[in-house]
């Protein structure tokens, strides 16, 4: 059984340096929770002092019930071989986050994508506003309040289904003269 | 294309015969279905025995294959490619995404139903269609060509306004060249 010595050491270092909380999720996975002001400092500290030189990903999660966006910065050390997740919450109203493409150049791409898909602003971010979407005039599409089904049915042409479409299980049971099994009745179309 | 004896003129017959045996497919892959094309073209299924082979540029191609889901961003390029092709030109919808949206039926960024934007000759269903299905679709297209029924380039020209309306509904910033076919 792995004793998780490296993981606990890493968590202790980061947590005591910044007085923040965190967990060891499992072997090679450590998460810390920080304020949004602290994030760039933690990332710089982990990169320069602890050897976490690789930015693997930046994720955004929309917590619409709690009124927050959660940003997860995943960084990795090729020496210790541990993923460190730096998690932070920002307000959903006028979301704004610090631009970290001075620390890692590739963060620019992730930030442009989040600006387009979630509407998060990164002051000082250089790059075209139009990144993946073209001619988009709605609210950012990855937001939970964006009703993608409604948008698709209004914008695109839906093809009507076949009139003679049959339920497979009922057709088979009629053909063989047996009953539909109990567990399958809740999926029946003939109700 | 039919004379008073209810059959094709001999010239048309020969012309269609030649056309159906040299189908040049534009090497333009959209979506995930393009991965089936190498399997169709190479030695196991060997589509070239039907006269089906790749063409590098739209102006030399006969068939535009829409392989799988078509995002609104790609649709703009596809329309431009299709309008550059010389007649006779054919479109094949490949996979359930081109038919009714498939698993992307509620996506904000992929179209449902290709035939609203381009005239489609043959649809191949399946997700993904195997190379046998692709070849069967091509054989169906060859039948249509032989009968002189595959005239969708003409249909597109005649109903251009209808197609333009649908296309402009999605491509709001319309900066495309006009052709005088």
pLDDT one-digit tens code per residue, B35-88: 889 999 999 999 999 989 888 899 999 999 999 899 999 999 999 999 999 988
Q: Is the pLDDT of residue A69 over 60?
A: yes
Does pLDDT of A178 surpass 90?
A: no
pLDDT digits (tens, 9 = 90+) for A155-174: 898 888 777 777 788 888 88
pLDDT over 80 (residue A64): yes
The DSSP result for chain A, as a single string, is: ----HHHHHHHHHHHHHHT-EEEEEETTEEEEEE-TTTHHHHHHHHHHTS---EEEEEEEEEETTTTEEEEEEEEE-TTT--EEEEEEEEESSS-B----TTT-TTHHHHHHHHHHHH--B-TT--S-S-SS-SS--SS-TTSTTS-HHHHHHHHSPPPPPPTT---HHHHHHHHHT-PPPGGGGGG-S--
Of B72, B99, B106, the CB nearest to A159: B99
- Which residues on chain A are in Cβ contact (under 8 Å) with B113? 156-159
Asked whether the predicted pLDDT for residue B181 surpasses 80, the reply is no
Q: Is the ipTM of this complex over 0.85?
A: no
* Averaged pLDDT for residues B89-102: 90
Measured in angstroms, the CA of B112 and the nearest CA of chain A are apart by: 6
What pLDDT sits at residue B3? 61
Contact flag B108-A151 (C-beta cutoff 8 Å): yes
Write out chain A residues lying below 8 Å of B116, CB-based: 157
Is the CB of A152 less than 8 angstroms away from the CB of B113? Answer: no
pLDDT-derived band at B8 (thresholds 50, 70, 90) equals confident
Quick: pLDDT tens for A81-140: 999 999 999 999 999 999 999 999 999 999 999 999 999 999 999 888 888 888 888 899
Whole-structure pTM value: 0.82
* Chain A hits for B109, Cβ within 8 Å: 133, 141
């091509």: which residue's tokens?
B138
Do A122 and A98 touch, CB atoms closer than 8 A? yes
Cβ contacts below 8 Å, chain A against chain B, sum to 51
At residue B4, the pLDDT reads 60
- Is pLDDT at B96 greater than 70 in this prediction? yes
Residue of B75, B93, B106 best to disrupt the A interface, most CBs of A under 10 A: B106
pLDDT of residue A90: 94
A106 near A53, Cβ under 8 Å?
A: no
Which two structure tokens, joined as six digits, stand for A145?
A: 């309040």
Nearest beta carbon to residue A135 from set B105, B111, B173: B173
- Please say whether the dihedral angle defined by the alpha carbons of residues B94, B96, B99 and B105, taken in this order, is positive or negative: negative
Q: How far is B158 from chain A (nearest CA, A)?
A: 21
What is the structure's pLDDT at A162? 73
Q: CA triplet A82, A88, A92: central angle to 5 degrees?
A: 145
**Would you call B73 and A134 a contact, using CB atoms and an 8 Å cutoff?**
yes
Task: Name the nearest CA neighbour of B30 among B62, B80, B64.
Answer: B64
Q: Tell me, rounded to whole angstroms, the distance of Cα A3 from its chain centroid.
A: 30
Q: What is the number of H-type helices and E-type strands within chain B?
A: 7, 5
Cα angle: A77, vertex A80, A84; to 5 degrees:
50
Q: Residue A179 — pLDDT band, cuts 50, 70, 90?
A: confident
Could you read off the pLDDT of A12-58 as tens digits, one per residue?
A: 999 999 999 999 998 899 999 999 999 999 999 999 999 999 999 99
Average pLDDT of the residues in B129-143: 93
Query: Looking at residue A190, what is its pLDDT?
Result: 65
Closest by Cβ to B172, choosing from A137, A153, A156: A137
Whether A183 contacts chain B with CB within 8 A: no
Q: Do B106 and A149 touch (CB under 8 A)?
A: yes
C-alpha B45/C-alpha B39 separation (Å) is 7
For chain B, say whether A152 makes contact (Cβ under 8 Å): yes
Once rounded to an integer, what is the mean pLDDT over residues B161-180?
88
Task: Give me the residue from A146, A148, A156 closest to B111, CB to CB.
Answer: A156
B2: confidence class by pLDDT, cuts 50, 70, 90: low
| Chain A nearest-CA residue for B74 | A134
- Distance to chain A for B128, nearest Cα, Å: 20
Q: Which residue has the tokens 């693997």?
A: A56
Confidence (pLDDT) at A180 = 82
Residue of B109, B163, B173 to mutate, interface with A, max A Cβ within 10 Å: B109
- DSSP-based three-state secondary structure for B29: coil
Residue A135 has its nearest CB partner, among B100, B107, B172, at: B172
What's the whole-number mean pLDDT along residues B113-138? 91
Give the integer Cα–Cα distance in Å for A92 and A156: 30
Per-residue confidence at B180, pLDDT binned at 50, 70, 90? confident
Per-residue model confidence (pLDDT) at position A164: 75
Which chain A residues are closer than 8 Å to B166 by Cβ? Answer: 157
């Amino acid at each position: 059984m792995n004793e998780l010595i490296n993981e606990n050491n890493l968590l202790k270092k980061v947590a005591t340096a910044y007085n923040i909380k965190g967990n060891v999720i499992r072997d090679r996975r450590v998460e810390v929770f920080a304020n949004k002001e602290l994030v760039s400092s933690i990332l710089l500290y982990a990169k320069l002092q602890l050897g976490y030189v690789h930015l693997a990903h930046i994720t955004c999660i929309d917590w619409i019930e709690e009124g927050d966006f959660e940003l997860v910065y995943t960084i990795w050390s090729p020496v210790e071989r541990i993923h460190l997740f730096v998690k932070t919450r920002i307000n959903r109203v006028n979301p704004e986050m610090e631009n970290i493409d001075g620390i890692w150049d590739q963060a620019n791409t992730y930030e442009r994508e989040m600006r387009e898909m979630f509407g998060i602003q990164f002051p000082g971010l250089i790059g075209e506003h139009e990144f993946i979407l073209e001619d988009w005039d709605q609210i950012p599409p990855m937001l939970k309040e964006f009703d993608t089904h409604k948008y698709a049915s209004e914008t695109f042409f839906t093809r009507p289904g076949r009139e003679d479409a049959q339920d497979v299980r009922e057709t088979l049971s009629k053909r063989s003269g047996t009953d539909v099994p109990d567990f399958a009745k809740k999926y029946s179309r003939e109700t | 294309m039919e004379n008073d004896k209810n059959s094709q003129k001999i010239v048309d017959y020969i012309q269609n015969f030649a056309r159906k045996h040299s189908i040049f497919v534009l090497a333009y892959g959209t979506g995930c279905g393009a991965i089936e094309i190498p399997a169709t073209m190479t030695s196991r299924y060997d589509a070239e025995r039907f006269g089906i082979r790749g063409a590098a540029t739209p102006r030399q191609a006969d068939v535009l294959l829409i392989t799988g889901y078509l995002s609104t961003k790609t649709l703009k390029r596809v329309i431009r490619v299709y309008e550059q092709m010389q007649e006779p030109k054919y479109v094949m919808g490949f996979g359930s995404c081109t038919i009714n949206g498939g698993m992307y039926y509620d996506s904000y960024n992929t179209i449902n139903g290709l035939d609203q934007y381009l005239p489609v000759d043959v649809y191949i269903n399946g997700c993904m269609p195997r190379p046998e299905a692709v070849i069967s679709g091509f054989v169906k297209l060859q039948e249509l060509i032989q009968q002189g029924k595959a005239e969708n380039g003409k249909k597109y020209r005649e109903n251009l306004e209808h197609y333009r309306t649908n296309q402009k509904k999605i491509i709001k910033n319309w900066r495309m060249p006009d052709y005088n076919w």
